[in-house]
Amino acid sequence: MIKEKFLEIVEEYNRLMKSSISGPDCTNPSLCKGNCCGIQIDVPKILAEEYIKRGYATRDDFIRSNIFSFKFRFDDEKAKCCLFDPDINGCSIHHSGIKPPQCWIYPTKFNNKSKNISCKITDGWKITNFKNTRRAKELLERYNTYSAEEARKEHDLIKKRIQNSLHLSKNCNIIKDLQNNKPSELGGFQDGWDRIYPLPAEGISLQLKKFCQNKSNQCKYMPENFLECPYICKDIATSLISFFKTHIYQLIEKRGIDPNGMYPLHALFEFFNN
């Protein structure tokens, strides 16, 4: 599906749902504090690119997903989706015409005949045009089908993103990124927009010790002083990337696509043999 046609589906869906549901003013801070915005919404890459193009988001606002290609990052400070705008007490793209279709479903869904539907905070919601919402449901099915197909293709491109990470500038690539980490601070790899990144460990990690010991017999820090090693050496970084590239699809086949695009060393090293 070409981008223009896909965006037409999203825009028509937005128009139909916006004009066919009535209810309380969610942006009234005395009534609601963005209670429905405390989740991460999955979006296809084609829609993420449009948000970036229009200035609503940056690449850093998206993380990999196991449902669609991406999902919006969660803003820990606001405890809400990164698109929640405190100044308007609501979604910054609510009136954009390309709000993610999932965000329109709650609390009315598409065929609730009740005249007084309740959300988490209050009641007073209702569907005013069932013909429109039925049409919107059909569009949502097309949206979901395309998004799932796109996600499968994106998942299959992880090796390309690994290659992209290797072929960046001489002073900025995945090897250099790894060398900026102590081996005891590396937790794994993070799949990103068009490349991969080192995934920091949560605290001290010994996961890389066995790999280092096997690959670098001459290292002065091995095995007793592993925690004192100041950075991952180039040889280990290169071997580790090669290992990741070789076994990533085995890991995905065994465990599935990670819901946050994170591939920890402890899972990857299940395929490591001395």
pLDDT exceeds 80 at position 172: no
Contact 261, 200 (CB under 8 A): no
Lowest mean pLDDT among 6-10, 76-80, 123-127, 150-154: 76-80
Mean pLDDT value of segment 213-230 = 87
Question: Domain extents for the chain?
Answer: 3-155, 158-271
Measured at the alpha carbon of residue 66, what is the angle toward residues 2 and 53, in degrees to the nearest 5? 40
Residues in contact with 50: Cβ distance below 8 Å, sequence separation at least 6, in sequence order: 3, 7, 98
Q: What is the pLDDT at residue 168?
A: 78
pLDDT exceeds 60 at position 274: no
pLDDT exceeds 90 at position 147: yes
How much is the pTM?
0.90
pLDDT exceeds 90 at position 216: no
Name the band, by pLDDT with cuts 50, 70 and 90, for residue 33. Answer: confident
CA distance 101 to 202: 35
Of 73, 37, 42, 76, the C-alpha closest to 57 is 73
Mean pLDDT value of segment 163-173 = 82
Strand partners, 63: 71
Give residue for tokens 């919601």: 125
Phi, psi of 99 (to 5 degrees): -60, 140
**pLDDT (tens digit, 9 = 90+) per residue, 89-145?**
999 999 999 999 999 999 999 999 999 999 999 999 999 999 999 999 999 999 999
The pLDDT mean for the chain works out to 93
pLDDT exceeds 90 at position 206: yes
Q: What is the pLDDT at residue 68?
A: 97
Q: What is the pLDDT at residue 15?
A: 98
Strand-strand pairing, 62-64 and 70-72: antiparallel
DSSP letter string, the chain? --HHHHHHHHHHHHHHHHTTEE---TT-TTT-SSGGGSSPPEE-HHHHHHHHHTTS--GGGEEE-SSSSEEEPEETTTTEETTEETTTTEETTTTSS---GGGGTTTTTTT---SSB--SS---BEES-HHHHHHHHHHHHHHHHHHHHHHHHHHTTHHHHHHHHHSS-TTSSHHHHHHTS-GGGEEEEEE-SSSEEEEE-SS---HHHHHHHHH-TT-TTTTTTGGG--S--HHHHHHHHHHHHHHHHHHHHHH---TTSEEEHHHHGGG---
Of 23, 17, 18, the C-alpha closest to 117 is 23
Contact 134, 111 (CB under 8 A): yes
* Residues above pLDDT 70, as percent of the chain: 98
- Per the structure block, which two tokens stand in for 57? 């988001």
pLDDT exceeds 80 at position 193: yes
pLDDT exceeds 90 at position 82: yes
Q: What is the pLDDT at residue 78?
A: 87
Name the band, by pLDDT with cuts 50, 70 and 90, for residue 1. Answer: low
pLDDT exceeds 70 at position 31: yes
Q: What is the pLDDT at residue 217?
A: 67
Tell me whether the omega of the peptide bond preceding residue 100 falls within 30 degrees of 0, making it cis.
no
